[in-house]
Amino acid sequence: MKQNIYDNNTFFRKYQEIRAREHNYNILLEQPNFLALLPSLKNKIVLDIGCGVGDFAAYCLKLGAKYVTGIDISSNMIAHAKKHHVHDNLFFEQVAFEEMTVPAETIDFIGSSLAFHYIADFQLLIKKISTALCEGGVLLFSIEHPIVSANMGKDNWITTAEGNLLYFAIDNYQLEGLRTQHWLVDNVVKYHRTLSTIVNTLIEHGLQIEKMVEPIPTKDAVSNLQNLNREFRRPSFLIIRAKKQILTKM
Amino acid sequence: MKQNIYDNNTFFRKYQEIRAREHNYNILLEQPNFLALLPSLKNKIVLDIGCGVGDFAAYCLKLGAKYVTGIDISSNMIAHAKKHHVHDNLFFEQVAFEEMTVPAETIDFIGSSLAFHYIADFQLLIKKISTALCEGGVLLFSIEHPIVSANMGKDNWITTAEGNLLYFAIDNYQLEGLRTQHWLVDNVVKYHRTLSTIVNTLIEHGLQIEKMVEPIPTKDAVSNLQNLNREFRRPSFLIIRAKKQILTKM
């Protein structure tokens, strides 16, 4: 079942508050590492899965993409995106990727920032992505790191009585599937996959891994947001770039 | 600096005691998953890095390999291997792989079971492996999982006062390098690498990942060794099969 948490108005308001902060995990950690792995988008057909408010989709156009489509399950997000980013070659659609019909081998680049952990059927997701990509096309995505997503929604930093961090607790790593947690509101639904499931699913669908990043914050980032120091102790995010293999005709 | 812990006689005796047990982590968990990923070895030239007592090297010969060389830094191990496995096409040598001269593109398959975490220079290791492999050649290796190797030699299962496991503690994940721990004897030296370092090093040296396994025990295995139940909570091992890319001439 697909959860559309971003159309929960309490959630959306709180989410916008976090994102409006100058110093947050996205701006300081995930986005710079994600964007550093972008291939050339010059004249490319681009799809952004889980586009949110459309900033990344608009950015792809600035980088020279021919057409960019951003999709998101949330009407709040899509309304915001359509309002703030208007361009003839930029399209936003409220739809779940699982339900979208994409003609085979029509897309050069698929990007997705911190959205895949909301999607229940990872096999179907990657199968559809692989089908949609042209040969040599690139998928770039970031997700919650499996070390973090493994846990059952507990706060997993173990502290002393004084509140000093001792270590991060991990559990249930091999039990894949639904995780319900409190993040801004109760009952946010996410899905945990092991690292090997993520990697093997890509490979089985002809997507060859080119780069894997577990982001580390810069000194500047840590000086702006002290909590980022924790990233040296365990990673929050996993970013993977993979390329659809070119089948050589023998 | 290379540590040759297996030539510490106290360590070697204790190690042999563990390995002699019918039910241990190697027999019940690591080996079945490692062997399941073997490519066809029919008429292949094989190198086993960290061959220990030579059982796997001898097994490769049984599977049809043409020549098998097993190397290990420990004279205890090599003496044992030479004594127990005698065959015209089976060779054992006491040498560290870093110091071994291997002609380029002469080996079809390189296997290594739970040895790479003893090697300090992972870049050099993988570079030498990639050079030694023929095009299309396969590397199969198992290592301590980065979730486990991250910690600084502490016992990382956190328990209640009654001794029940609460969770596994992880820390220092991004701080790669030396880990000194007590395992059978004091001051066993290992090296921690993050998952992304392992994956990216392979890719940068032309080794394309084909499969990644974080082994889960079977029901039978757990009934023989109860502690294996912990493997569902966090993985002990990581197994990777990678293939040296065939460079297509354009």
A-chain CB neighbours of B169 within 8 Å are: 158, 166-170
For residue A212, give the nearest of B168, B174, B196 by CB distance: B196
Closest residue, chain A, to B233 (C-alpha): A172
Contact assignment for A231 to B174 by CB distance below 8 Å: yes
Q: Name the residue among A21, A56, A50, A69 with its Cα closest to residue A227.
A: A21
- Weakest mean pLDDT among A6-10, A194-198, A207-211, B210-214: A6-10
Closest residue, chain A, to B232 (C-alpha): A174
Is-contact A234 B173, C-beta < 8 A?
Answer: yes
pLDDT tens sequence across A164-205? 999 999 999 999 999 987 766 677 889 999 999 999 999 999
A-chain CB neighbours of B166 within 8 Å are: 169
For residue A210, give the nearest of B172, B195, B203 by CB distance: B203
pLDDT for position A230: 95
Size of interface A-B (CB pairs under 8 A): 99
Closest residue, chain B, to A233 (C-alpha): B172
Is-contact B71 B49, C-beta < 8 A?
Answer: yes
Contact assignment for A209 to B199 by CB distance below 8 Å: yes
A-chain CB neighbours of B194 within 8 Å are: 214, 235
User: Which one of B34, B135, B143, B147 would you mutate to disrupt binding with A, by most A Cβ within 10 Å of its Cβ?
Assistant: B147
Give yes or no for A232 touching B (CB within 8 A).
yes
Q: What's the ipTM?
A: 0.92
For residue A169, give the nearest of B167, B196, B216 by CB distance: B167
Give yes or no for B131 touching A (CB within 8 A).
no
pLDDT for position B218: 97
pLDDT for position B13: 80
Bin A40: left if φ > 0, else alpha if -120 < ψ < 50, else beta: beta
pLDDT for position A17: 79
pLDDT tens sequence across A89-124? 999 999 998 888 889 999 999 999 999 999 999 999
Is-contact B208 B121, C-beta < 8 A?
Answer: no
| Structure tokens, A53 | 């408010």
Give yes or no for B232 touching A (CB within 8 A).
yes
pLDDT of A248 strictly over 70: no
Is-contact B240 A203, C-beta < 8 A?
Answer: no
Contact assignment for A173 to B210 by CB distance below 8 Å: no
What is the pLDDT confidence band of residue B153, given thresholds at 50, 70 and 90?
low
Contact assignment for B233 to A174 by CB distance below 8 Å: yes
Is-contact B148 B234, C-beta < 8 A?
Answer: yes
pLDDT for position A11: 75
pLDDT of A84 strictly over 80: yes
User: Which one of A175, A195, A211, A246 would you mutate to disrupt binding with B, by most B Cβ within 10 Å of its Cβ?
Assistant: A195
pLDDT for position A155: 63
Give yes or no for B89 touching A (CB within 8 A).
no
Residues near A129 by beta carbon (within 8 Å), at least 6 away in sequence: A49, A110, A139, A205, A207
pLDDT tens sequence across B116-141? 999 999 999 999 999 999 999 999 99
pLDDT of B9 strictly over 90: no
Q: CA-CA distance, A226 to A220, in Å (whole number)?
A: 10
Contact assignment for B209 to A203 by CB distance below 8 Å: yes
Contact assignment for B170 to A208 by CB distance below 8 Å: no
pLDDT for position A153: 63
pLDDT for position A172: 95
Is-contact A38 A140, C-beta < 8 A?
Answer: yes
For residue B232, give the nearest of A175, A203, A216 by CB distance: A175
pLDDT for position B147: 95
Give yes or no for A62 touching B (CB within 8 A).
no
pLDDT tens sequence across A235-246? 999 999 999 998
pLDDT mean over B173-193 = 85
pLDDT of A2 strictly over 70: no
pLDDT tens sequence across B37-83? 999 999 999 999 999 999 999 999 999 999 999 999 999 999 999 99
Rounded to a whole number of angstroms, the distance from the CA of B213 to the nearest CA of chain A is: 6
Give yes or no for B173 touching A (CB within 8 A).
yes
CB atoms within 10 A of CB A141: 25
Contact assignment for A172 to B233 by CB distance below 8 Å: yes
Give yes or no for B194 touching A (CB within 8 A).
yes
Give yes or no for B166 touching A (CB within 8 A).
yes
What is the pLDDT of chain B when averaged over all its residues?
Answer: 92
Q: Give me the helix-helix angle, A195-204 and A122-132, nearest 10°.
A: 30
> Strand B45-49 to strand A177-183: parallel, antiparallel, or no bridges (unpaired)?
unpaired
Q: What's chain B look like in SS3?
A: CCCCHHHCHHHHHHHHHHHHCCCCHHHHHHHHHHHCCCCCCCCCEEEEECCCCCHHHHHHHHCCCCEEEEEECCHHHHHHHHHHCCCCCEEEEECCHHHCCCCCCCEEEEEEECCHHHCCCHHHHHHHHHHHEEEEEEEEEEEECHHHHCCCCCCCEEECCCCCEEEEEECCCCCCEEEEEEECEEEEEEEECCHHHHHHHHHHCCEEEEEEECCCCCHHHHHHCHHHHHHHCCCCEEEEEEEECCCCCC
